[in-house]
Amino acid sequence: MKIIVTGGAGFIGSVMVQYLVNTYPEDMILNLDKLTYAGNLENLKPVEDKPNYKFVKGDIADRAFIFKLFEEEKPDVIINFAAESHVDRSVEHPEEFVRTNVMGTTTLLDACKTYGIKRYHQVSTDEVYGDLPLDRPDLFFTETTPLHASSPYSASKASADLFVMAYHRTFGIPVTISRCSNNYGQYQFPEKLIPLMISRALADEQLPVYGDGANVRDWLHVEDHCKAIDLIVRNGRVGEIYNIGGHNERTNLQVVRTILSALGKPESLIKYVKDRPGHDRRYAIDPEKLEKELGWKPQYNFDTGIRQTIDWYLNNQDWWKRIISGEYQNYFREMYKDRVSD
């Protein structure tokens, strides 16, 4: 089977690519990534020389390129991670999110319609549901929760999901969608909460916490997320949506304090800053459908997962320090200029 993973040089995508390459040596895994600021081919070092791995540089919103790629590669499965994903950036530059997250998705779907596909899987987010009140811990997002996007980022992802289901209904494309809670783990770009707090705490710099820090997120380890997606792609029912969550709710302040405690740093490093516009208060996912239908269970709870994550960042400081300095962008030019399709 030939699987194209779009956005495979990003955080979750690179963990997915490694998992597929190592778990299914009989499958060919093609990593398609535009290598924008969050794409880092150093994430793929462990598999870059494997015979069932190939990297192609390209833009999912480039129609001519995508159609040529489908014609040449004839993929069986598409797993679409490629997305602009940082909420703060979407507030400043929403048009970039429309181009990649919406138009990129419809371009891939048009290629599937033209050339055929066994499964198109859309990786989405729980943010399409909006948020939940802090005083109702009994409420959770289910697959039937109405879409109620709060940010330009979540609006673009919700739009993409609607297009995916519309192409399934109108053109019969075999699709599935997964909506996950907040991911954490190895290879996460250092602008996101957990790696940002780890790197800044190690440097004894102030840790910016939005508002009162009471915003609640349901934390999902990236490895558990990738195993869930693999289950959905191989065994999930066509035309269905599956929520992926870890049952690990923590306030942002609890997360930051956990990191400080693990690193032996004082809480005086915490600095409360002005909240961002439209900041969702609580996300919490009910993954019962995924658990019952496909037998998925997370390997990590937050306590074991955050310890593994902190240890990884402590043991791989060269990796994230190169990103902070911008050096990682040289890796593609140095290592891949003669080895990839451009």
CA 290 – CA 231 distance, rounded (Å): 9
d(CA 35, CA 59) in angstroms, rounded, equals 9
Q: Which three-class secondary structure state does DSSP give residue 248?
A: coil
Q: Do the beta carbons of residue 6 and residue 13 sit within 8 Å?
A: yes
> Which one from 19, 53, 120, 153 is the annotated catalytic residue?
153
Q: Is 187 a catalytic residue?
A: no
Is 272 among the residues known to form the active site?
no
- Indicate the pairing of strand 216-221 with strand 249-251: antiparallel
Q: Which residue among the candidates 59, 84, 127, 218 is catalytic per the annotation?
A: 127
Burial class for 115, CB neighbours closer than 10 Å (0-12, 13-18, 19+)? middle
319 secondary structure, DSSP code: H
Nearest CA among 298, 304, 286, 296 for reference residue 224: 298
Q: Is 72 exposed, middle or buried (0-12, 13-18, 19+ CB in 10 A)?
A: exposed
Q: CA-to-CA distance for 238 and 175, rounded, in angstroms?
A: 5
**Residue 204 bears catalytic tag:** no
Half-sphere exposure in the Cβ direction for 105 (13 Å, CA): 27
- Considering the candidates 33, 42, 126, 161, report the single residue annotated as catalytic: 126
Burial of 323 (0-12, 13-18, 19+ CB in 10 A): buried
Residues with a known catalytic role: 126-127, 153
